[in-house]
Amino acid sequence: MLQEGQHKVPAEASQPVVSVREKQIDHEKTLKARKEGKPQKPMEMNGQMLVPHSYDYDLIVIGGGSGGLAAAKEAAKYGKKVMVLDFVTPTPLGNSWGLGGTCVNVGCIPKKLMHQAALLGQALQDSRKFGWQFTEQVEHNWMTMTEAVQNYIGSLNWGYRVVLRDKKVTYENAYGEFVGPHTVKATNKRGVEKLYTAERFLIATGERPRYLGIPGDKEYCISSDDIFSLPYCPGKTLVVGASYVALECAGFLAGLGLDVTVMVRSILLRGFDQDMANKIGEYMEGHGINFIREFVPIKVEQIEKGTPGRLKVTAKSTKGNEIIEGEYNTVLLAIGRDACTRNIGLDKVGVMINQKTGKIPVNDEEQTNVPYIYAVGDILQDKLELTPVAIQAGRLLVQRLYAGTTRKCDYVNVPTTVFTPLEYGACGYSEETAVEKFGEENIEVYHSHFWPLEWTVPSRDNNKCYAKIICNILDNERVIGFHVLGPNAGEVTQGFAAAIKCGMTKEQLDSTIGIHPVCAEIFTTLSVTKRSGGNILLTGC
């Protein structure tokens, strides 16, 4: 809120302007004097001596998620004066959370913990075959799980605040919005507004779940922003979407014993290797998850209130006029996420965004078209939406700005994992993208099914796991794509990702001696190519 005697900063100014009773301080001269080491004389206005204006902070970070916090802490390490502004707009159901962003509060962390809860349920079933005997009926308690998960998340929220305090980073739980050059307005939950200036800004606001824009979606549906703290078991659940968020949530809900249906508009896991995506879908269907394909909801109605209540979903075919209806206790929307960039005043400072997606184009140093404003994380155009990527980009950006380094974030060959019931790890090109870029005749795909030893005694899911590498024939069969479906896929992929970064070839992979008996050793013995059509079912140990 502007105080009496202050005036709005002119939009055309290239440096911050301080106005006192219609008189302006010339910051061009002030900054020039500062750079030249000349002492600055106090100025007299209306009989008062004024110290020439300087920025309140060296760096203001808008967004307290993984990327923003990493950058803020790194900048503080170099003695910079840093502020973090973070504010969570509540979901339509009223849910919000603490410092740390999506990953910690409503993403990677609670997702994997609930995935682990589902895996433990499977392990209990397997244990009988290994001789464990228990007569009491084993049931899952949703509230016990969510309370434990939320307690852990709460400890992380507190830990982040303590670290910022220890590093002398100023943190405000307030909504940051640009109001003019080098100036932001911070509005807290009570509506109190403050103005702050900084030499540089970092936008790290992340994304939030998208809604369908149909009757009843915000009134009755939940999103991934709600599911991990839901104060009751969701019961029979319809998951709308085919994203990794949709399939991960459907997977752990089914693993906890719930009746789960996934409604898919077109393909599964768009942007991922479709061979792997389809195998994931087949595995999930084989484990009791229903799929309704090529339908989209057009209306959600409440039949009965409750925790959970009952909802009627009306859906329409994407191929024609067929209409179907179904009843569920909970409808979870996971149809994509939108960048939080449209309501933070970027137009007031001239930062360009993609008008369709809200994403921010940046150069190879994460710099926007406005030189003193930078951006990292999920809001970047044509960049990977992954927590470790945002952290790496944020740290390296600060090191370039304040430590004189030149290293840039490498967005190539970034490993990732989808924590579906059958986990999927990937690094490098998908098969489709490799064919498109190099030509089908110039790539060789080696693949095989495998059966984890741990699954043999319970005699389940024989030859459901799958390994595939994609090699560039013209580059000494260098491995340009790595894909694995199986337990602990993330752990497996992380190790191979380092080798791929170093330019690993198929010959080097073949010369590597495997560890026996583990799943990852399959990659040291791949011999069947896809084009050969040879048998890839694994027999024996």
Options 7, 53, 140, 516, the catalytic residue: 516
The strand pair at 193-203 and 465-472 is best described as unpaired
What is the torsion angle, in degrees rounded to the nearest 10, for the CA atoms of residue 346, residue 172, residue 52 and residue 35?
Answer: -70
Structure-block tokens of residue 474: 């013209």
Residue 331 above 70 pLDDT?
yes
Q: Using CA atoms, how far apart are residues 206 and 379, in angstroms rounded to an integer? A: 6
Cβ atoms of 191 and 87 within 8 Å: the answer is no
pLDDT the model gives residue 18:
39
H or E stretch at 424: strand 424-428
Q: Using CA atoms, how far apart are residues 199 and 535, in angstroms rounded to an integer? A: 62
Compute the average pLDDT of residues 432-454. Answer: 98
| CA dist list (Å): 210 to 92, 190, 222, 340 | 12, 26, 11, 11
Residue 4 above 80 pLDDT?
no
Q: Using CA atoms, how far apart are residues 360 and 415, in angstroms rounded to an integer? A: 23
Q: Using CA atoms, how far apart are residues 399 and 322, in angstroms rounded to an integer? A: 57
Quick one: CA dihedral 367, 368, 369, 370, positive or negative?
A: negative
3-state secondary structure at position 360: strand
Q: How many C-beta neighbours within 10 Å does residue 243 have?
A: 22
Residue 14 above 50 pLDDT?
no
pLDDT the model gives residue 467:
98
Residue 66 above 60 pLDDT?
yes
Of the candidate ranges 38-42, 93-97, 267-271, 313-317, the one whose mean pLDDT is the lowest: 38-42
Residue 38 above 60 pLDDT?
no
The yes-or-no answer on residue 287 being catalytic is no
Indicate the average pLDDT of the chain. 92
Which DSSP letter does residue 215 get?
Answer: T
- Angle of the 431-438 helix axis to the 274-286 helix axis, nearest 10: 160
How would DSSP label each residue in 513-531? PPPTT-GGGGGGS---BTT
Confidence of residue 188 (pLDDT cuts 50, 70, 90): very high
| pLDDT > 90 in the chain, percent | 89
- Please enumerate in sequence order all residues whose Cβ is within 8 A of that of 268, keeping only pairs 6 or more positions apart, or say none: 242, 247, 274, 277, 278, 280, 281
Quick one: CA dihedral 316, 319, 320, 322, positive or negative?
A: negative
pLDDT the model gives residue 541:
66
Q: How many C-beta neighbours within 10 Å does residue 512 have?
A: 14
Compute the average pLDDT of residues 527-531. Answer: 97
Residue 131 above 90 pLDDT?
yes
Q: Using CA atoms, how far apart are residues 250 and 287, in angstroms rounded to an integer? A: 11
Q: What is the pLDDT of residues 447-501, one digit of tens each?
A: 999 999 999 999 999 999 999 999 999 999 999 999 999 999 999 999 999 999 9
Q: Using CA atoms, how far apart are residues 410 and 401, in angstroms rounded to an integer? A: 17
Confidence of residue 218 (pLDDT cuts 50, 70, 90): very high
Compute the average pLDDT of residues 272-297. Answer: 98
Confidence of residue 422 (pLDDT cuts 50, 70, 90): very high
Residue 372 above 60 pLDDT?
yes
Residue 109 above 60 pLDDT?
yes
Compute the average pLDDT of residues 44-61. Answer: 66
Q: What is the pLDDT of residues 194-204, one digit of tens each?
A: 999 999 999 99
Q: How many C-beta neighbours within 10 Å does residue 333 have?
A: 25
Q: Using CA atoms, how far apart are residues 197 and 15, in angstroms rounded to an integer? A: 10
First-to-last alpha carbon distance for the chain, in angstroms, is 70
| CA dist list (Å): 79 to 74, 171, 272, 409, 462 | 9, 16, 42, 23, 57
Q: What is the pLDDT of residues 113-123, one digit of tens each?
A: 999 999 999 99
H or E stretch at 455: helix 453-456
Q: Using CA atoms, how far apart are residues 145 and 83, in angstroms rounded to an integer? A: 35
Q: How many C-beta neighbours within 10 Å does residue 357 have?
A: 13
Q: Using CA atoms, how far apart are residues 20 and 12, in angstroms rounded to an integer? A: 18
